[in-house]
Structure 1
Amino acid sequence: MLPASPFKLPPASPSIVPANAAPCPSAELPDAPGVGHLPAYFVEQMTNVAPKDRATAGRRACVVCKRKSPVYCSTCQKTLCFTTLRNCYSEWHRDNRICV
């Protein structure tokens, strides 16, 4: 038996999905449209930028909230926030009916 975790998980909340949204196909299907949509960091492509400048140079404006983010979708090539406070990544894909 594992020891109790000192961290408390928030209560499960129902997922907010628009009423007119089509159900997402299972991610287990090879032809599912959301398969392959993974978050990536701009900094991974910055071999020619000095390490001290990567935090600033590796940020772009999020297409949803317009705040700076170092994350983009590796398939859609859209800059999207993916933090504990903002999950524009899931919101944008859900609004565009791309299941991730």
Structure 2
Amino acid sequence: MSLHDLCSGMKMFPQLLVNVRFTEGSGNPLENEHVKAVTAEVEAALGKRGRVLLRKSGTEPLIRVMVEGEHEDQVHEFAHRIAEAVKSVLALPAKWLKRRRLPPFL
């Protein structure tokens, strides 16, 4: 069996990577409950037909948001929704990053 034969049954989904720059020492937005909740909502909406990868870069002060799914417009919307959640948390004072919930104005 050739590599072409093996790959013929594989369907490639659209994928989008969004980088969110942050300041070192500003806390870890990946541990914030709001970011976790938005990510969980996106994962639930994608179901088994997509995936989310949210991680800190190992070489730069970036949070990398990657979303992959069947529909390109949905992938774009979901990746930016998670990126905006990360940005909203980074805009908060550092003391809020350690809290489990966001302040009521968000």
TM-score norm. by structure 1 comes to 0.29
Answer 1 or 2: higher relative contact order, Cα 8 Å, separation at least 6.
2
Structure number with the higher strand fraction is 2
TM-score norm. by structure 2 comes to 0.28
